[in-house]
Amino acid sequence: MEAFQFDVPALPADALEAERRVREFLARERAAGTYQPHLSSWNTHDAEFSRRAGRAGLVAVGFPKEYGGQGWSMLARYVIAREMLANGAPCFAHWIAERQSGPQILRHGSERARKLILPKICAGECTFGIGMSEPDSGSDLAAVRTRAVRQGDDWVINGSKIWTSNAHNAHYLIALVRTSEADGKNRHVGLTQFVIDMAKPGVKVRPIYNLAGGHEFNEVHFNDYVVPDDMRVGELGAGWDMVTGELAFERSGPDRFLSDYRLMVELIDRVGTKPDAYQAVEIGRLVSHLSALTRMGTSIAGMLTAGKSPQVEAALLKDVGNVFERELPEVARRIAPVQPAPDDAGARYSETLSHIVQHAPSYTLRGGTREILRGVIARALGLR
């Protein structure tokens, strides 16, 4: 078996500076009560918060200075991300842009796209959505049918995307579309990514409400939407390799094991300083998971900093991280029973639990289902 190695690098100077800065920023935000840590997380949209984070120099710090970034390492970015999550910061307005769309444009976009978009991302003013899944193409991503047809210097896009988180707030999407037919042997050819400007005509957003009544998902319809060729991301037909590379960023972050971290905090405080044996054992068990997950996360950020592409390690981290995220509310309700209610104003633990129980099913779906991830791992094990 390939011996999975998760060596933990020492934090470089930029990461230490990032840590100092983000802690200072978050302490200020929390002291001012700008958001509710126990009810928000990285997938909570708060444009003003993201703008303030951008002004504090905490968004997309890895981008080069010429595009508004600070040229810092992936470890610096990772440290900022995990501090945000540990504090329940509402990061969604800049999260996707910073985590995956921006890096794609930086690596594969045209110079015009870089100049136009990256500085806005760094300023925390630019919201992206991910246009990968389609009504008939979820986990089976190669089955996308949305089509772009060349017309002079432009492309004309028709089709639909689904599960597009935050499309209703997004300034841009990166959409994966078909630019030529799949050949019989290889379904992965003929896919290309484009930057979609949501302000232009020909794109419509329809909400899909989640089970808790929240509006995060959308359907996005393209009707003769025109995109110039210089908003293409990467070579024609290179879309498949790019999305698999992008998914390593999407899967490897602390957002795969810290989504419900605030419940951990609320749980410990609810149990109090004198836990009974059962409570202590279960909390200790969770902490033992978290500590190993944190090491894995730091290790992967180190691999990214070193220029590696840790796709398998990312799948492993997301898989075990999601198991933890899913288990946390279940442990909480058993060791600190409450009838969780969304309207338990003032009873933070109850509110948090109510929130998490209803959102936990999404953890093992978004960014690749548990089954898809295990397929990726199985391939690395040589089983397929």
Partner 1 sequence: MSTTNPANETAEMSAIVLEQAERLFRGEITKERLEAADGGAWPAELWAAIEENGLTLAMVPEAAGGVGLPAADALKLLRLSGYHTLPLPLAETMVGAALWAEASGEAVGGPLAIGPTAPGEQLLIAKSGSDWKLAGTLTRIPWAAQSAHALLHARDAAGAGYLVLLPQGSGRIEPRANIGKEARDTLMLDGVVVPAAAVRPAPAACREGMLAAGALVRTQQMVGAMERALDYALAYVMERKQFGRELAKFQAIQQQLAEVAGLYAISSAAADGAREAWGRPGFEMSVALAKARVGEAVNRLTDVCHQVHGAMGYTQELPLHFATRRLWAWREEFGNETHWQRRIGEWACANGGEALWRALAENRFE
Q: Which of 118, 296, 301, 331 binds partner 1 (CB under 8 A)?
A: 296
State yes or no: residue 248 binds partner 1 (CB under 8 A): no
Burial of 191 (0-12, 13-18, 19+ CB in 10 A): buried
Residue 97 beta carbon to partner 1: minimum distance, rounded to whole angstroms? 24
Residue 281 CB burial class (10 angstroms; 0-12, 13-18, ≥19):
exposed
Residue among 119, 90, 110, 136 at smallest CA distance from 259: 90
- Helices 261-271 + 277-305 axis angle, to 10: 150
Give the residue with the Cβ less far from partner 1, 115 or 379.
379
> Quick one: which segment of 139-147, 239-247, 312-320, 336-344 binds partner 1 (CB under 8 A)?
312-320
The tokens for 170 are 């997004």
Q: Which of 136, 208, 288, 306 binds partner 1 (CB under 8 A)?
A: 288
Q: How far is the CB of 261 from partner 1 (least distance, A)?
A: 8
Would you count residue 351 as binding partner 1 (CB under 8 A)? no
Q: How far is the CB of 321 from partner 1 (least distance, A)?
A: 9
Q: Compute the least distance from the CB of residue 324 to partner 1, in Å.
A: 9
- Runs of H (alpha helix) within the chain: 13-32, 47-55, 74-86, 92-96, 102-108, 111-122, 239-252, 261-271, 277-305, 311-335, 348-363, 370-380
Q: How many CB atoms lie within 10 A of CB 205?
A: 17
Q: Which of 86, 231, 233, 332 binds partner 1 (CB under 8 A)?
A: 86
374 binds partner 1 (CB under 8 A): yes
| 154/257 Cα distance (integer angstroms) | 41
Q: Which two tokens stand for residue 44?
A: 């909570």
**Which among 240, 255, 307, 235 has a CA at the least distance from the CA of 99?**
255
Q: What distance in Å separates the CA atoms of residue 66 and residue 181, rounded to the nearest whole number?
A: 38
**Is 377 an interacting residue with respect to partner 1 (CB under 8 A)?**
yes
Mask: binding to partner 1, 142-181, rule CB under 8 A, as x and -? ----------------------------------------
The label of the residue with tokens 């040229």 reads: 71
Q: Which is nearer to partner 1, 96 or 283 (CB)?
A: 283
By C-beta, is 243 or 267 nearer to partner 1?
A: 267
**Interacting stretch for partner 1, rule CB under 8 A, among 50-58, 113-121, 237-245, 294-302?**
294-302
How far are the Cα atoms of 47, 94, 126, 225, 354 from residue 200, in angstroms, in the given order? 21, 21, 16, 8, 39
Q: Which of 191, 372 has the CB closer to partner 1?
A: 372
Stretch that binds partner 1, among 232-240, 317-325, 338-346, 354-362 (CB under 8 A): 317-325
The interface with partner 1 within residues 256-275 (CB under 8 A) comprises 261, 264-269, 271-275
Q: Does 319 bind partner 1 (CB under 8 A)?
A: yes
Q: Does 7 bind partner 1 (CB under 8 A)?
A: yes
What is the C-alpha to C-alpha distance for residues 171 and 199, in angstroms, rounded to an integer? 7
Q: List the one residue from 14, 46, 83, 260 that touches partner 1 (CB under 8 A).
A: 83
The answer to whether residue 294 forms part of the interface with partner 1 (CB under 8 A) is: yes
Q: Is the separation of the CB atoms in 170 and 129 below 8 Å?
A: yes
| Residues making contact with partner 1 (CB under 8 A) | 1, 3-8, 19, 79, 82-83, 86, 261, 264-269, 271-275, 277, 279-285, 287-296, 299, 313, 316, 319-320, 323, 371, 373-378, 381-384
